[in-house]
Structure 1
Amino acid sequence: MAALSLPGEPQVPPTAAVWVAVDDAAAVPGARRRAASLASTLGFPADVLGEVEIIASELATNLVKHGRGGDLVLRTTAAGTVQLLAIDSGPGTRDLAGLVRDGVSTTGTLGVGLGAVGRLADHLDLWSEVGRGAVVVAEVGPPPVAPRAPVGHLLRPLRGEIECGDAIAWRQVGATWLVAVADGLGHGPLAAEASGRAAHVLRTSPSTSPVELVGLMHRALAATRGAAVAVSRVDPDRGTVTHAAVGNVSGRLVDASGGTRALATQPGIVGHKLPRVRENAYPLDTARLLVLHSDGLTDKWSGSALPDVDVHGPDVCAAALVRDAGTRRDDAGVLTLRLPSPAPVPRRVPSP
């Protein structure tokens, strides 16, 4: 894709994820080798490469032993780390964090797998529920130079494709967050080009208006297949999220109790058939998570089934959504933004 001549300081785009199906023990060596190969692209020293291999091997082994098979997702981050996500739909447990302690096992083994992951990973997030499986996010790399962004995401290409036709993007301007999901029409490289252009606009444009950003995306996508796009601006100081969306993309606000509010979208195709775009403002109120996703995820997911956003990071929430709501018949793309806790309402002190 040719670079677009747009003003602004671009952020490093999220890298493509490598999905490794781990259905039996024979897949474990391959998962280990692919993790090491990915980590080597970052120039990690030999001892750190060895740690990445151990983590990949232990996560893949746990997928077989405890999760009845699942997926190991490998990717690099803009912070220069390697992230490994183990996702399964197995029996789950109420005490997954307890399994990080060496010697704890649910299958009669020595229980050193997750213990090794806990010791070696620079960041670890685990979530599980009985009957629903587990999500483990492990990260290896240099310590962050800035606080961890409250953004999670996951992209999964259509089965049989290498490139995902969906794209995500985010940008921070002061306390304000701009986030977007784009779903290129169709699948494969041409869909990826369209969605990638939309994501590039959000990362590099100086505009913070969802309506203006959709308009800029429309012009940038004119020579492509086009895309469905959702753009949100979260203003914590104002307590609002402003949203504009065109096409079959979804947005929801999720509160701590699991209640959700849908964000409006309009019919059309960004790049070809753009209606007069409207943006809507919604109060954040008690919302704790903003979710944007393509139609590669069904809308039939429940906020009450998500991990506790006050305990777990947004990447765990994104992985749980793709696992539970993603369809293998389409590209799947989801972005999750953890929202700040609402400010406490000051008590009125009666006058003496």
Structure 2
Amino acid sequence: MASRIAEQAGFGENDRGKVAIVATELATNLVKHARQGRILLRSFRSAAESIVEILSIDSNPGKADFAACLADGYSTAGTPGNGLGAVKRLSRTFDFYSGPGNGTVILSQIAPGEFKDTQPSRSHFEWCALTVAAPGETVCGDACGVEVREGQLRLMIADGLGHGPGAAEASEKACDVFTQMNSFTPRALIELSHRSLMGTRGAALAAASADANSQDLEFAGVGNISASLQSLTGSRGLMSYNGTLGAQFRSVRQLTYQWAKDSILVLHSDGIKTHWSLTDNPGLFHCHPAVIAAVLLRDQCRGRDDASIVVVRRKSA
């Protein structure tokens, strides 16, 4: 499956081989060591290149010194012990979170070509969007859209009512509106999506936009999408209005919040519990947004509905 996703993303044979190695090593690691685990796969565009992202998530007790596992030759299962070290070497971006009682999440992002440590950061925003279908469903009724272009961030998350194909139809229509908009504002996306979703089940939707050169965050939401700005000193919730796009909806205000550098924006559907704190997992705040999203999805997912989460870190210049 990872190789197929890489092929669809335009990876050549050699780069598809890198993806296959990483997927195999992470999956094998789960089979050998995890009691509960999953692999999440996706591809996305970053700047001018495609990225394949692989997340390994487990609920094991975790390791006090996971970094030692990355050294070649380290093994607790009688193997050569080169797997995680190879995963790190083949990854454009690699990160992990593990600790006693906290399980383990491993992130690998693979890009075509050779990675150079001197390559400068291409974006003022670092982000991840994850969607997982409800148990027993083959499609997810939630959908996310994120775009970073020339210092401009725009994003959305939609939760179609219920789950299954009917919910997916509604959320995908909202994503189509997001993709086709040239002049984007959160309020305009909500108003256009409301008209587009008429005749569907309807959806909750939240959207945001930001400029790398400003601390302003523009936000608008309708329905039960949770949104907050997270920092090391606390969190601030973002206000959504009651209603359902495509059904009961009157008006919405676009609100402006101050988004400090190095703080984190989190949006998620009601498939994830609302009462959580990043401080419950020491050190998690400093991890890549994909690792943060995976830990929250693992620990806070209700397990009976579609679940989606978007995490964005505003990086220092």
What are the residue-to-residue correspondences of 1:143-158 with 2, within 5 Å?
143=113, 147=122, 150-158=126-134
1:99-157 CA-to-partner distances (Å, cap 9, x unmatched) read 11112235565422212212333332222222111111113331599826522111100
Aligned partners of 1:100 and 1:63: how far apart in 2?
15
TM-aligned CA distance change 1:57 to 1:174, over 3 Å: closer
Matching residue of 1:330: 305
Gap regions ≥5 residues in structure 1: 1-33, 344-352
Compute the displacement of 1:260 (Å): 1.1
Change (3 A) 1:81 1:242: closer
The answer to whether the 8 A contact 2:131-2:308 is kept is yes
Give the unaligned 5+ runs of structure 2: none
Distance in 2 (CA, whole Å) between partners of 1:44 and 1:255 is: 37
Within the candidate set 44, 59, 71, 1:89 is matched to 59
Aligned to 1:133: 103
1-structure distance, mates of 2:145, 2:282: 23
Aligned pair count? 308
Letter in 2 for 1:204: Q
Identify the residue that residue 230 of structure 2 maps to in structure 1. Answer: 254
CA contact (8 A) 1:171 1:202 kept: no
Alpha-carbon separation, structure 1, partners of 2:18 and 2:195: 46
More divergent stretch after superposition (306-315 vs 97-106):
306-315
> What is the distance in 2 between the residues matched to 1:159 and 1:207?
37
Per the TM alignment, residue 292 of structure 1 is displaced from its structure 2 partner at its CA by 0.7
Change (3 A) 1:142 1:263: same
Q: Pick one of 14, 17, 37 that aligns with 1:70.
A: 37
1:44-193 → structure 2 map (5 Å cutoff):
44-78=11-45, 79-106=49-76, 109-143=79-113, 147=122, 150-172=126-148, 174-193=150-169
Distance 1:320 1:174 in 2: 30
- CA drift of 1:164 comes to 0.7
Q: 1:29-48 maps to which residues of 2 (within 5 A)? A: 34-42=1-9, 44-48=11-15
Distance 1:203 1:47, change over 3 A: closer
In 1, are the aligned partners of 2:205 and 2:223 still within 8 Å (CA)? Answer: yes
4+ runs of 1 displaced by more than 4 Å?
A: 42-47, 106-109, 143-146, 306-311
Report how far residue 48 of structure 1 moved: 3.8
Q: What's the secondary structure of 2:144's corresponding residue?
A: strand
- What's the offset of the Cα at 1:310? 7.1
What does 1:281-300 correspond to in 2, within 5 Å? 281-285=256-260, 288-300=263-275
Cα distance per residue 1:306-347 (max 9 Å; x no partner): 675774321111111111111220000111111134x8xxxx
The answer to whether the 8 A contact 1:306-1:321 is kept is no
Q: 1:193 to 1:287 in 2, by over 3 A?
A: same
Task: State TM-score, norm by structure 2.
Answer: 0.87
Q: Tell me the percent identity.
A: 40
Secondary structure, aligned partner of 1:102: coil
Which of the numbers 238, 248, 257 marks the counterpart of 1:263? 238
Distance 1:168 1:51, change over 3 A: same
In 2, Cα distance between the equivalents of 1:50 and 1:233?
37
Q: Is the 8 A contact 1:184 1:226 kept in 2?
A: yes
1:179 is displaced (CA, Å) by 1.3
CA distance 1:168–1:140, shift in 2 (3 Å): same
Contact persistence 1:122–1:139 (CA under 8 A): yes
Contact in 2 for aligned 1:296/1:326 (Cα 8 Å): yes
Of the structure 1 ranges 287-296 and 118-127, higher mean CA displacement relative to structure 2 is found in: 118-127
Letter in 1 for 2:82: V
- Per-residue CA deviations over 1:51-100 (Å, capped at 9, x if unaligned) read 33332222112223333230011222234333211001111123323311
AA of the residue aligned to 2:129: H
The corresponding residue for 2:180 is: 204
State the Cα distance separating 1:221 from its structure 2 match.
1.0
Letter in 1 for 2:38: D
Q: Which moved more, 1:119-128 or 1:86-95?
A: 119-128
Q: 1:197 to 1:219 in 2, by over 3 A?
A: same
Normalising by structure 1, we get a TM-score of 0.79
User: Offset at 1:213?
Assistant: 1.8
Which amino acid is the alignment partner of residue 111 of structure 1?
G
Which secondary structure does the structure 2 equivalent of 1:77 belong to?
Answer: strand
Q: 1:5 maps to which residue?
A: none
- Counterpart of 1:211, as a letter, is R
